[in-house]
Amino acid sequence: MKMQLSEIAKTVSAQNDISAWQTVEISSVAFDSRELKPGALFVPLVGERDGHTFIDKAIENGAAATFWQADHGDVPTDIPVIVVDDALKALQALSKHYLLKINPRVVAITGSNGKTTTKDMVASILATQFNVTKTQDNFNNEIGVPITILSMEPNTEMLVVEMGMDRPGQLDFLSRLVAPDIAIITMIGEAHIEFFGTRDKIADAKMEIVNGLKDDGLFIYDGDEPLLQERAQTVSQRQLTFGHSAEDDVNETAMTPTPVNTTFTTNLWPDTTFDVPMIGDYNVNNALAALCVAKTYRIAPEKATAALLNLDLTRNRAEWVTGSQGEKILSDVYNSNPTAVKEVMAAFTKTPVDGRRLVVLGDMLELGEQSDALHAGLSSAFDPTLVAGVYLVGPHMHALYDQLEKNFDAEQLHFYQVDELGTLSADLLATLTAKDAILIKGSHGIHLETVLASLRTAD
């Protein structure tokens, strides 16, 4: 982005006179003083830590200007300042202004599972024909979405935005902020059920993504999900469904899994075989959602095929990597919920291996009072003839441990507290061979990425 301070001050209704700095040019926006680039506008957000206390670090790292909340006083004098009521609301207002200024078409994506992978697939397909900006990392909330918008280059034609939620009203706000041309819901699962109580209420919250959908926009959703079928009847905009049923507008007609990828065909282009570098029919579903976007923007099947084959995937989402012993590791350590675990387990246990299949699972967080029951319910995904060893981490995983004891021998089961990841890593390294395959999955708060790092860098 490039914007003079005078334009920014007017957009956010600055409370102070910035005439002395009005020609200062801003080239980026950041709320983390450690990661901003020279020329950035620093946004001191007030949360667990108050961003205002990091102003000196922001200046040291090259901030060209800063927002400053009026209730904080002690306005800095050694950097151009825009005084605002609320730094977060100012960031959001600025992003809305910039979005209208650049005026790309917007694809907004949410879902209990698959939204990040679908985002990557949609962006890859659109990039064959348009200049695309997409959400990076996990910048998918009321802070991250504005930052994503403000990261757009002026020539951006398509903005692909991932939207997360953990409370009612969050997607309503984000949808109205970006006013999508296309809104996608990948699926409804149990993620964040602690805050919502039931899948019905999760579906209600996910449907908020259509609240800002343009009148001539398109709603794309999983046509095999009854909760979405029911709610889609209240949406007046055009709709497309994807899924595994012949009734879906875009459906999979054949699928062939391999240890590292999945090929499939669709009713959309019957003579075209697609290949995604991921395992599991749930990732085919994500690809079908992306192909709905390809259909909408008339992207040729050969371009869509190449885009899916050469995906630039966000790290640690069902990603195959090689460990230090030569073992194959399916890394899925960013997030976890019951639906996601069952889906990746179904795919992993179909993966051919010369040695053993080992599974490392960490607690699934934000499941509330149902947590132990939902953890125990994962037992149906475990077959002792297909999985040689199970390593469970966290207090809620003990409920699954208790269930697995009925079918697994004692030496196949291992349990660790969250602060015993070093012991877990050592135990795995003592048994792994180059012929083995290992799945590592858990909520980000369990930090199984440290186990992954140990397996990849061990001597």
> In which element (H, E) is residue 84 found?
strand 81-84
Determine if residue 133 is labeled as part of a ligand binding site. no
On whether 124 is known to bind a ligand per the annotation, the reply is no
Q: Is 112 known to sit in a ligand binding site? A: yes
Alpha carbon 147 to chain centroid distance? 15
**Alpha carbon 257 to chain centroid, angstroms:** 24
Asked whether the CA dihedral 432, 433, 438, 442 is positive or negative, the reply is positive
Q: Can you tell me the distance from the alpha carbon of 357 to that of 385, in angstroms, rounded to the nearest whole number?
A: 10
Strand partners, 108: 161, 183
Strands (E) across 386-436 are located at 389-393, 413-416
> How far is it, in rounded angstroms, from Cα 320 to Cα 278?
8
**Owner of token pair 């991250």:** 144
* Residue 86 CB contacts under 8 Å (≥ 6 apart), including other chains: 69
CB atoms within 10 A of CB 26: 21
Closest CA to 122 of 220, 253, 256, 235: 220
Burial class of residue 306 in the structure, from the number of CB atoms within 10 Å of its CB (0-12 exposed, 13-18 middle, 19+ buried):
middle
Q: Is 113 annotated as ligand-binding?
A: yes
What's the distance, CA 312 to chain centroid? Answer: 14
Burial class (CB in 10 A: 0-12, 13-18, 19+), 2: exposed
Q: Is 116 annotated as a binding residue?
A: yes
CB atoms within 10 A of CB 315: 11
In eight-state DSSP terms, residue 190 is S
Helix axes 421-431, 449-457, angle to 10 degrees: 40
Q: What is the phi/psi pair of residue 255, to 5°? A: -145, 140
Is 110 annotated in a binding site? The answer is no
Spatial distance between the Cα atoms of 179 and 211, rounded to a whole number of angstroms: 8
The answer to whether the CB of 441 falls within 8 A of the CB of 339 is no
Binding-site positions for ATP read 111-117
Binding-site positions read 111-117
